[in-house]
Structure 1
Amino acid sequence: MKKFIYIILGMLIISIVSITLIGGSLQKKVEQTESSNYKNNVTYNLGKLPEDLIMLDSNNLREKDILANTFEGLVNCDENGKIVPALAESWDISQDGTNYTFKIRKDGKWSDGSDITANDFVNFFSDILNKNTNNIFSDQLNCIFGVEDYRKGKCDFNNVAITALNNKTLNIRLNYPCNYFLNILSQPIYALRNIDSKLIDWKKDYRSIMYSGSFCINNISDSGEITLKKNSHYWNKAQVKSNSITLSSLKTKESALAAFQSSTINVFTDPPLGELKTIEGKAKYKVSPLLQGEGIAFNLKRSGIANDNSFRKAVAASINRNNIVKNILNSTALESYSYIPQYTGDGLNGKYINKVFFQGNEDIKKASDMMKSVSSSYGEASLKLIYLDTVENKKTCEAIGESIKKAVGIDVKCEGYEASKFNEKLKKGDYDMAEIKYEGYYDYPLSFLDMWRSASQYNLYGYRNVQFDNKFMNAKFEKDGTKRIEILKEMENMLMEDMPIIPLYFNDVIISQKNYVQGIYTNKLGNIKLDKAYLDVH
């Protein structure tokens, strides 16, 4: 009996030891798997995943990184702002600047191996410009003959001047010369894709989507982690450095930073600014300028002191841009001394440069002198300054509020809101001033000025200037590119004289990456590009 018990105990001990060893082996295997994911792949935190892959109803820059890496259009915009061939290997522009003929690559293929044709582009433009498609960017293509009428349902697409001359030749005819037309087409929203239900339900149907870009979506985990694989049928696949890329979907800067520090991810954008020195000591980060600015917009829809131009100019004189950029933003932005960034292209192979409107430091005396011409009848005890609720925006608005109090003697109440509530406040006009983000959707100054047209859907602030509107139309129809730039400068001058907005600074995208990650870059529009990304672990 004792011998039997000893045998049983021995078997139990062997089993426990075996289980412990196996468990330890499994634990080690799990740890290796988890740690090798980021070491074997560039792992980039995209942030919140988009609702769909049509993406014509919003302008979230980071969400469009998916479009920029899985689909491709006729042309691309590189990191220097140069327009480069994409699915169109070449193009010809007529002498009068109104006729564009694109040669589609012979080796241009969908991810299933089928040929990409000129008719694919015809169908694509027909779908995105359809009146039933929620497309906030459609006005950009009103330069194409027939688009505006088609969008309004006045004609069918046969009357739109986007036609396939043959299988590999696409022709687009414009209403007027538009030397920034290729800049418009270089946006990720014009990357070729089949506009269908698969793009809407992409998290379920990603395997059946046909991709036209450098990567395909290979897997989406339950946690929202996306695995991209190199598109084996992509025309430029030889230049794509990585066979696989991982995209995580951590929604906050703080969670992305924690994942970066624990090496769950190895690339993310826009870290908490207070942590930059910490990151710099253990990894690297680089800063790329965006076609995007921040400014203080005034509510011109209602009467009051904010509707007084002299008051707005007094506020402008009271702002210390140097303090905001250096001490609040840790020098990760560029002070804006004009409305349009000086690195914006002029469509003439140069940069758009207008005169300097503002200074870096505050001028309290100038602000106080300007206030002398402001009527004392307004009687506002305080003003409401609203902002999108971030740490940096809060500090910026509080600094501006203190400057206004010092210069003009009016208290400013600063209120931060999450995105949907902030937009609701703007639409309802429940504010006096608002810190807003404004941007050029493509690399040309007209894109920045567009939002201040009286009829613009982005003009939520009540600015109305008939002369400004007329000059906008004159600029669009001006055949001479140099003369058009002069008109655009006149428009910016008018905007700065009327001052519906005070520019503060121009944004940068900050890319944080481990030292062994190479090849990450942004295009001129600010999208993260992953085709050249790879790991250098040696």
Structure 2
Amino acid sequence: MKKIITTIVLALCLILFLIVFIDVAEPQKKESGKDFVYSIPEINYNLKSVGSLDKRMQDVVNATSRGLVELNSNNEISPSLSESVEVKDDGLEYDFKLRDDIYWSDGTKITPSDIATFFREILTEEDEENIYALLNVYGAKAYRGGSGSFSKDVGISYGENNIVFRLNSKDDKFIEELTMSQYRLRKNVLLWEDINNNYNSLIYSGNYTIANMSLSEINLKKNDYINLNIVSNIKVIIDEGEEVAMAAFEIGERDIVINPPKSQLNRLNDEGRLINLKANKAMYLAFNSKDDRLQLEGRKEIYKLFNKAFESYQLNNSLYMELAEGSYFRSDKDDLSKLQARKVMSVGETEWEKPEIIHLIAEESSENKEISEYLVKWFENNTDIQLIYDLVKLSELEKINQENYYDMALISGNLSLTDEVSIYNDLVKFLDGERREKFISLKTEGERLENFLSIEDELFNQYKILPLFFYNDNVAVNKKFKNMSLDGNGNIDFSKIENGAVAQ
């Protein structure tokens, strides 16, 4: 009898132990809220030429790689692998002092030699249009062309704790250009051409490592040698379109959506789930140089009407855009004397032969369709001019200065002057042939900005191509995470994201 009682007691104790174990262990096993999940439209497995990737794939590179310097959300240059930079010899030499506490993901220290090797690799492997800043380094172009020795003939040298760049010509934007994704330190750049098969054998300089990749998902894990209070895991998942991503966000399956549908912005902002940032993108109105129907005074009046239309448009879309007010670049809005002069030029009534119909074209996109339809309605309600529009393929839009079937075009583009797809190239297309070729041949941001200033008044005063508005970036965010933002280059800044539920 005692044996039976003893057996029953032991069985009850075992059951109680198992119940307690299950109750306690199950929550620990789930680790709820540790993963940060966001979506991209597609996964690219060739990450060798980073400057040619879209922003969301660049995010993956940025999460796993750090640069000498980075550009924060306020467009301020901040140190990363370097702790300081000294500019010498009237801007021709840049001496970066490296931090003492920078490590690869395997625990080995990042050395100046590692950084020099990386720059040697991207000098030959990155697409040329993405490294104009680097090609301005002494001897770099010749080395890329197959001449000379990197260690002896290229102006990149290093010491025990620094790396030095010697330029051919002064470039005031050199440090800012080094903040771009293609200049983030990677090991064995050639292996990034097939990242799906090589991610496991690589070591990384960034805050995260690539833990796993599949056809629909990339999993990033926090670098064990990074001493930051940031989320432990990031999941990058494919979503086909912003509407799909937004639906997943609303049910808690995504923690961030970049540029959600415009119709959702005000609601998300009211709910405290939106980050609104200044984007590096603008919209311009380009008049057809072959169109003899709209003379100078006519172009002036049409531009005035477009500005009035967008003033009304902004009332309900202030999170989406900001009026340019005569500025070609956002930084120009601080130049009050220039803005005032252009406002004076734009006011007042002028005599012109008003057409019954004007024809607008823009690149095919749902965004441009919505804007064009708004403009058609605005002209119908506020003028006696009928506006019609056509949406065309980008290849056709790029040849607009060769056609004469339209009166004007909406042109949008990136304001980063070093990008091959920068709006700079569209702006200078409206110059005469010989001058156009001269301006397009300029590649560094410093050269392009300096020379653009010399033609800016011509483009505005002759009403060839004129600024309309600047875009904003918007980020829908899950409130359980803190400190989410885009950096100055439009990429997610993974170095600060914390889990709000666990952050101290």
Range class of TM-score, shorter chain: 0.7 to 0.9
Residue in 2 aligned with 1:425? Answer: 396
CA distance in 2, matches of 1:353, 1:157: 47
Task: Report SS of the residue matched to 1:192.
Answer: coil
Residue in 1 aligned with 2:66? Answer: 72
CA distance in 1, matches of 2:53, 2:147: 27
Q: State the shift of 1:393 in Å.
A: 2.0
What's the TM-score once normalised by structure 2's chain length?
Answer: 0.78
Give 2:220's aligned amino acid: L
Q: 1:50 to 1:306 in 2, by over 3 A?
A: farther
Matched, 1:84 2:64: no
Write the mapping of 1:100-115 to structure 2, written as runs, cut at 5 A. Answer: 100-115=94-109
Task: Report SS of the residue matched to 1:201.
Answer: helix
CA contact (8 A) 2:414 2:421 kept: no
CA distance in 2, matches of 1:529, 1:337: 30
Question: Which among 481, 487, 499 is matched to residue 517 of structure 1?
Answer: 481
Write the mapping of 1:331-342 to structure 2, written as runs, cut at 5 A. Answer: 331-342=319-330
CA distance in 2, matches of 1:269, 1:38: 23
Residue in 2 aligned with 1:180? Answer: 173
Task: Report SS of the residue matched to 1:532.
Answer: coil
Write the mapping of 1:182-221 to structure 2, written as runs, cut at 5 A. Answer: 182-194=175-187, 196-221=189-214
Matched, 1:238 2:227: yes
Give 1:397's aligned amino acid: S
Give 1:198's aligned amino acid: L
Structure 2, gaps ≥5 residues long: 1-21
Residue in 1 aligned with 2:467? Answer: 503
Q: State the shift of 1:182 in Å.
A: 0.8
Residue in 1 aligned with 2:389? Answer: 413
Q: CA-to-partner distance for each residue in 1:138-186, whole Å, 9 max, x for gaps?
A: 3344432233444555656457543233353211111233332111111
Matched, 1:295 2:284: yes
CA distance in 2, matches of 1:250, 1:140: 34
Q: State the shift of 1:257 in Å.
A: 0.9
Write the mapping of 1:11-410 to structure 2, written as runs, cut at 5 A. Answer: 39-56=33-50, 58=52, 60-130=54-124, 133-151=126-144, 157=150, 161-194=154-187, 196-222=189-215, 224-233=216-225, 237-280=226-269, 284-298=273-287, 300=289, 303-305=290-292, 310-319=297-306, 320-327=309-316, 329=317, 331-343=319-331, 355-356=338-339, 366=349, 369=350, 371-372=352-353, 383-390=359-366, 392-401=367-376, 409=385
Give 2:71's aligned amino acid: C
CA contact (8 A) 1:75 1:85 kept: yes
CA contact (8 A) 2:47 2:53 kept: no
CA contact (8 A) 1:471 1:491 kept: no
Q: CA-to-partner distance for each residue in 1:358-406, whole Å, 9 max, x for gaps?
A: 67xx98x85xx3644x9x9xxx97635122412x321212233456677
Q: 1:133 to 1:486 in 2, by over 3 A?
A: closer
Q: State the shift of 1:75 in Å.
A: 0.7
Give 2:415's aligned amino acid: G
Task: Report SS of the residue matched to 1:528.
Answer: coil
Give 1:339's aligned amino acid: S
Question: Identity, % of aligned pairs?
Answer: 22
Task: Report SS of the residue matched to 1:246.
Answer: strand
Q: CA-to-partner distance for each residue in 1:178-233, whole Å, 9 max, x for gaps?
A: 332111111122111146443122233222232211111112244x2222111123
Q: CA-to-partner distance for each residue in 1:93-127, whole Å, 9 max, x for gaps?
A: 11422111112333322222333232333333333
Q: 1:218 to 1:341 in 2, by over 3 A?
A: same
Q: CA-to-partner distance for each residue in 1:44-74, whole Å, 9 max, x for gaps?
A: 2244334532344536333322222211111
CA contact (8 A) 2:430 2:465 kept: no
Give 1:505's aligned amino acid: F
Q: CA-to-partner distance for each residue in 1:432-485, whole Å, 9 max, x for gaps?
A: 4443322233xxxx65999577xx5x6694533767888999998999xxxx98
Q: 1:194 to 1:475 in 2, by over 3 A?
A: closer
Q: 1:474 to 1:517 in 2, by over 3 A?
A: closer
Task: Report SS of the residue matched to 1:199.
Answer: helix
Q: CA-to-partner distance for each residue in 1:1-23, whole Å, 9 max, x for gaps?
A: xxxxxxxxxxxxxxxxxxxxxxx
CA contact (8 A) 2:486 2:492 kept: yes
CA contact (8 A) 1:162 1:173 kept: yes
Q: Bigger CA drift: 464-473 or 179-188?
A: 464-473
CA distance in 1, matches of 2:498, 2:365: 35
Structure 1, gaps ≥5 residues long: 1-24, 346-350
Give 1:184's aligned amino acid: E
Q: CA-to-partner distance for each residue in 1:237-280, whole Å, 9 max, x for gaps?
A: 22242222222221311011100111111221211121234434
Task: Report SS of the residue matched to 2:285.
Answer: strand
Give 1:315's aligned amino acid: I
What's the TM-score once normalised by structure 1's chain length?
Answer: 0.74
CA contact (8 A) 1:56 1:136 kept: no
Q: 1:311 to 1:91 in 2, by over 3 A?
A: same
Q: State the shift of 1:516 in Å.
A: 1.8
CA distance in 1, matches of 2:325, 2:434: 25
CA distance in 2, matches of 1:261, 1:47: 18
CA contact (8 A) 1:427 1:460 kept: no
Output the aligned Cα RMSD.
Answer: 4.1
CA contact (8 A) 1:291 1:344 kept: no
CA contact (8 A) 1:517 1:533 kept: yes
CA contact (8 A) 1:297 1:434 kept: yes
Give 1:333's aligned amino acid: M
